[in-house]
Amino acid sequence: MGFFHGSVNCFDNCAVNDLDIFTQRRSVRAYLPTPVPDALLSQIMATARLAPSGANLQPGVFVAVRGAVRQQLSHDLVQAWREGRQETEDYDYFPKPMPMTLRRRQVAAAQALYGALGVARDDRAGRDAQFERNFRFFDAPVALIVAMPHDFGAGGYMDLGMTLYGLMLAAQAKGLSTCAIGAMASYPSLIRQHVGLDAETKVVCGMALGYADPDAPVNQTQTMRCALDEYFKVIG
Ligand SMILES: Cc1cc2nc3c(=O)[nH]c(=O)nc-3n(C[C@H](O)[C@H](O)[C@H](O)COP(=O)(O)O)c2cc1C
């Protein structure tokens, strides 16, 4: 099956070398302890910032959390989640209600993840254990909080998304892996407190970055993409 036909598994179907960083990137949820040198991290962040943005406004701030700050942040996030604490999120992510077509994609992604882990559908404890790892940035050597000034609307999120993908691909080009962590957006106030962001700054997501653990079952997760004709057409 070619890249542009049918329901595509992007990891098997692309032999074109110059697109490798696109086809080989996937969300990585287990990392080696190998540290990422500061200079390399700075280079990746600077490359990500080459992303275009409307009027070149370049929204989005990235905070790498380390040491005691990271430890305390993760501890408190896990605690909040275990207690079922709820905060008002800074922005809506998913459509409410979720249309059936999107729900099916969501379920397929969850099945890919928990299938790779061998966690059964009714294994609540197994699922919770994996979900909790979001709040520990999947133990990646680099943990980022991604935020944005409060007065940006949808355009700001669009611009920031480009930077995020730029970051993922720059990391990929350097042999590193990433996973965006939308789960962090559930606790914006808690995160603002720990990271020293003012009340006017929206917490968008987290990001894990580091060298993938090739042997971790969770990193065998493979997601599919919908067929090209579901989202692209030529008219005229
Ligand atoms: C903005 C954003 C937020 C995400 N949040 C999470 C998250 O909280 N936890 C998680 O395990 N994966 C998260 N992901 C990863 C998605 O599940 C993943 O990108 C999707 O299933 C496609 O798989 P792939 O990245 O391996 O191609 C997020 C991805 C994006 C782009």
Q: For 1-27, how does the pLDDT look when each residue is reduced to its tens digit (9 = 90+)?
A: 223 333 344 444 444 588 999 999 999
* 127, part of any domain: no
| Cβ-proximal residues to 170 (8 Å cutoff; 6+ apart), any chain | 43, 44, 47, 48
For the chain, what is the domain count?
Answer: 1
| Residue 62, pLDDT score | 98
Is-above-0.85 flag for pTM?
yes
* 64, part of any domain: yes
The CATH number of the domain holding residue 164 is 3.40.109.10
* 148, part of any domain: yes
Decide: 207 in ligand 1 pocket, CB within 6 A: no
Q: For residue range 72-115, what is the model confidence (pLDDT) as tens digits?
A: 999 999 999 999 999 999 999 999 999 999 999 999 999 999 99
Q: Is the pLDDT of residue 144 over 70?
A: yes
Q: Which residues pair with 147 in a beta bridge?
A: 61, 203
CA distances from 126 to 117, 123, 192, 216 (A): 9, 5, 29, 16
Query: Measured between alpha carbons, how far is 93 from 89 in angstroms, rounded to an integer?
Result: 9
Atom 28 of ligand 1: nearest residue by CA position: 180
CA angle 9, 206, 200 (to 5 degrees): 135
* 88, part of any domain: yes
**88 alpha carbon to ligand 1 midpoint, in Å?**
21
Percentage of the chain exceeding pLDDT 70: 93
Phi-psi region of 56 (alpha: psi -120 to 50; beta: other; left: phi over 0): left
Atom 3 of ligand 1: nearest residue by CA position: 182
Decide: 142 in ligand 1 pocket, CB within 6 A: no
Q: For residue range 176-206, what is the model confidence (pLDDT) as tens digits?
A: 999 999 999 999 999 999 999 999 999 999 9
Atom 6 of ligand 1: nearest residue by CA position: 181
**27 alpha carbon to ligand 1 midpoint, in Å?**
6
* 18, part of any domain: no
Decide: 181 in ligand 1 pocket, CB within 6 A: yes
| Residue 137, pLDDT score | 98
* 202, part of any domain: yes
Atom 17 of ligand 1: nearest residue by CA position: 109
Decide: 119 in ligand 1 pocket, CB within 6 A: no
| Residue 11, pLDDT score | 46
* 193, part of any domain: yes
End-to-end Cα, the chain, rounded Å: 27
Atom 7 of ligand 1: nearest residue by CA position: 181
* 14, part of any domain: no
Decide: 117 in ligand 1 pocket, CB within 6 A: no
Query: What mean pLDDT do residues 164-178 have?
Result: 98
- 145 by DSSP, 3-state: which? strand
Q: Which domain holds residue 45?
A: 24-93+134-218
Decide: 179 in ligand 1 pocket, CB within 6 A: yes
Query: What mean pLDDT do residues 40-62 have?
Result: 97
**Strand duo 201-210 + 177-181: pairing:** antiparallel
**C-beta of residue 213 within 8 angstroms of C-beta of residue 148:** no
